[in-house]
A and B are shown apart, each in its own frame.
Chain A
């Protein structure tokens, strides 16, 4: 608990924690001090001078050190000059005056100085309407310009900092928020000032330009229209936009978002999503989003949307009706109970998955999660629960990251873990190769692909890291799928869960196992009881398959082949895919932008998303379609109200007990207070009035006894001569449907690649940049060679979802 400090701001007595600066303290007291360079999440720099205030401190006698008294209270001595409120910390007895003739003159002067070379771009500037400079000019600035137009500093504009973010150098007011965000928070120092004095401008010299997956955040905190996204440029005026709260459905972090929508002529009178903005949830994503979440939302509105149910007649898909399509599906699924297979992905909501599982159970069929990563039943047992918040982790907590390139797999968790480490948490990175997170690690543990289980066991036995780990008060382990298939990830999850369970690191806040899943709601699927099947092809052959939210035909030629010999295939999805092309029945589902529902994040937090745009065509929510099919199979499921489905879910699945839509919609005041009328303070992130979600309970938190078996070592193939061991790694920008539909990300997605050690490349006779064929087990694909000195000589790194269907470590041949 930090010491409380009492001071007076504009006559108001306030008490705040020690160490707070005057701008933040004033905000708590309801006094808004105007700022440009200050941001509550960045270190203060005192650059813009907008927050100049009068500060008086209790006078002390130089000789005795005692307070000089006047009228029974310490005499307050005001400095002759104004001081910046942002760089001054609160002191007991301090008196701050933020509104006086002196401060008004200073504020007017600062705005006037900024406007001398700031172009009058408001009519064409994206920021207009949500622009701190506009607002503060109206409240504090001069009425007329005293500067000559022809003497203004000119820059060629706009200048791309990369293809995603555009810079307008004339608009920049040099608050350095973007530079500092990249340096302090993102850890990618790819923005800097060039030159000095008036000709200063922002540059980025990375390749690709502005090489950071967090780049979009700089456009939120930029106080002017200097930084804009190419996604939203000239898109709409902020006052034309509606805001619908949502959850990002790209990864298991579950960032809270707002979808801004507008009805526009450009889109034939449709209401469309214009941009994705962060919504404040200090326990999940704070006020940030990664660029994938910010830019890869276009799949929901794309031209490839399915709009009508279809049935295959004479080898062609023909439009049908809901009645006919669902009846046919029900008929085929009921035919032979043990042949009924549900294959669903974590892109679906809790409600959708619940109905699917319930149907599968009642109908005697199987329910498989479409994923190559296992271990989720363990995260249900010993996962994290209520009270867990990366933002509260620091000294005394150990965070272990196993087999995961967190920067690529769950960017906002990367940010949160990095910040926890910077606050003193012990970060132990256990990975076969170097990743960005290494920079912040207290301990780095390397292992060879295949030796994961031993590495985890050793973590609790030998070495300095073991000491640090076992001495911690709290331990959280995040495990991913780097170099692991189904069996491998199962082993890793088991080993991690056992480590936690055996040492008492479960059942309390900030303790437990987190899966860095492939998709947003994989955790929800595990909670419902879905399982991952190692040999999925075998499990699909000859079956009546109900595929929901998955595209196995595109992803894996083996699965495509298996489905060719399936008895019946019904595909329920949002878009046309390779799988819908071979389906017997196609059922059009609503995108998450068109309906409501909930997702369970990897931290086992259930969060609600709300509809933003009208429904496309005749599509229905996934859970409703399942209910309709179920009814035709004699199984009664709720198909109208998502909220009711959730209530039923909460009654059935223990970990959801006690939750309902109302509880998930409970909002609380969060600090720092952002998103209000003082946009200049926190940026354009949205305030969260729609709910912070709630944690699921776990076996450990419910006090149930949990025992974890010993983990089996995963068998990893041994490459023969002239072969390499190819291991799957994850990449943020890949060729999955949800990302590829965002055209502006294509440059970052790039080509399929295979990374080799330079000597391996030499032996195979291939060079960097050369296109080669990678083949294994009847699968082959083209890839561009990249050289990587940090990996072992017999390893080839193959990113998933880039066109080569790698599921687990496998021996490959690489040929020019």
Chain B
């Protein structure tokens, strides 16, 4: 299929301004600014059914309409913090098709009346930030960014901003704190960013992939977008496939594609011809899907269907686990990730991730007893429903699901 997001796969030079323009790029932005009302732009995005691609799946058009029009100025922030283990799609977009991403940010800025947009990249994306800065300079040169664009009153500037190594800054309110030059700890919500955001002003924050969909929607129409994907979740999604497959990588596919298709048709199947034992569809924050029945692989990958498997699609960072992996080792890895990344603000996450890590270490090292395994499940459940933000909650998902569905691995790991 022809990519609508990873268009560099067909057009390798699409990251160059002239090539992008030749392929229809930037016309949507110019058209919006010169001929459309901001409400009209928001309506198109609303009608398309586009949902946020960062993991929460919130309807994008609806979010844009929430920007508080009694409080100015407005800001737009692109969340390029991509730190969920197993996620590497935003990287490829920004490296391969940066101008479409930037145009999406620009259209979004126009739609919510923002004159400044910040692209918050994780600190490790140093080189990507440099190349985006170059693209932004080119766009300014070409008259697509700056003051009074296309002879209208609308002005817009884009800026990149690097984080410095904190997964929690992918959480939107923590991102704002970090962007404001503070420790990246989530805020109390409500109020939410569209009412009180960057510098306490209304701010719309969306994921890189979400923004990258927008120029295509504006160009081809909301109805066109709805021909792809499912009724509940139209459009395409980039699935980051990693783990024990032969061909890990990003795959842009319609929402509703099955796991089997992703793993076998695109991913080349499991390494060493082994069997899929578990799927983590949302990176380290996943509830592990136990693949004890081959039919499970025919589950469509969309938000509603995956929920039926008692899991969440989230950011579609699909990690494949085969039968060579023991879950006590895997959980020790995910728990250590969250222990390192917890911001420390709230009690259950700060203390709970540390406690779980001590337990998973002991279990994996063979120094634990059965009661420790029960305790691990208990501690994870004790954290649930109490944390200030999703990090704490999600840190328990893999633990609880693997203890409930792969108990034998843990029993084997402990002393009798």
Contacts and interface: CB of A to CB of B under 8 A. Distances in A.
Q: Are A and B in direct contact (Cβ within 8 Å)?
A: yes
Interface of A: 44-50, 52, 81-82, 87, 106, 109-110, 112-114, 116-117, 146-148, 151, 153, 173-174, 192-193, 195-198, 200
B277 interface: no
Nearest to A197: B342
Nearest to B384: A81
For B348, B351, B355, which residue has the most chain A Cβ atoms within 10 angstroms?
Answer: B351
A170 B250 CA distance: 45
A49 B347 contact: yes
B300 to A, nearest CB: 27
A200 B351 CA distance: 11
Contact of A197 (B348, B354, B383): B354
Main SS class of interface, A: loop
Given A82-B386, A196-B343, A197-B340, A110 B348 contact: yes
A196 B354 contact: no
B346 A49 contact: yes
Interface residues of B, number: 28
Contact of B183 (A82, A117, A153, A193): A193
A82 B387 CA distance: 10
Contacts, number: 86
A200 B350 CA distance: 9
For A50, A117, A148, A196, which residue has the most chain B Cβ atoms within 10 angstroms?
Answer: A196
For B168, B344, B352, which residue has the most chain A Cβ atoms within 10 angstroms?
Answer: B344
A146 B344 contact: no
B385 A81 contact: yes
B171 to A, nearest CB: 13
B386 A46 contact: no
B350 A174 contact: yes
A82 B388 contact: no
A82 B386 CA distance: 7
B188 interface: yes
11 contacts: A106-B385, A109-B386, A113-B348, A116-B354, A148-B358, A173-B347, A197-B340, A197-B341, A197-B344, A197-B353, A200-B344
A49 B387 CA distance: 8
B364 interface: no
Contact of A196 (B166, B355, B358, B388): B166
Contact of A147 (B345, B355, B388): B355
Contacts of B339: 197-198
B19 interface: no
Contacts of B354: 116-117, 153, 197-198
A181 to B, nearest CB: 17
Given A112-B382, A197-B343, 20 more contacts: A45-B188, A45-B345, A49-B346, A50-B347, A81-B385, A82-B386, A106-B386, A110-B348, A116-B351, A116-B355, A117-B354, A153-B354, A173-B347, A196-B166, A197-B341, A197-B350, A197-B354, A198-B339, A198-B350, A198-B353
B351 A113 contact: yes
A132 B409 CA distance: 42
B344 A196 contact: yes
Interface in B383-402: 383, 385-388
A381 B398 CA distance: 74
A46 B346 CA distance: 8
B296 interface: no
Nearest to A115: B351
B375 interface: yes
Given A44-B188, A196-B183, A197-B343, A49 B358 contact: no
B347 A110 contact: yes
B350 A49 contact: no
Given A174-B350, A196-B183, A47 B355 contact: no
Nearest to B386: A49
Contacts of B387: 49
A730 B340 CA distance: 49
Contacts of B341: 197
Contacts of B358: 148, 151
A148 B340 CA distance: 20
A147 B375 CA distance: 10
Nearest to B345: A47
Which 3 pairs across A and B sit closest by C-beta, in order of nearness?
Answer: A113-B351, A197-B342, A198-B354
A87 B189 CA distance: 8
Interface in B12-51: none
B111 to A, nearest CB: 24
A193 B177 CA distance: 15
Contacts of A197: 339-344, 350, 353-354
A81 B389 CA distance: 13
A97 B181 CA distance: 38
B190 to A, nearest CB: 9
Contacts of A196: 166, 168, 183, 342-344
A46 B188 contact: yes
B176 to A, nearest CB: 15
Given A47-B346, A49-B346, A174-B344, A82 B385 contact: yes
Contact of B386 (A52, A114, A153): A52
Contacts of A198: 339, 342, 344, 350-351, 353-354
Contacts of A147: 355
Interface string B184-223: 0000100000000000000000000000000000000000
A195 B382 CA distance: 25
Contact of A109 (B168, B188, B382, B388): B382
A153 to B, nearest CB: 7
A87 B348 contact: no
B385 to A, nearest CB: 5
A174 B340 CA distance: 17
Nearest to A196: B344
Contacts of A153: 354
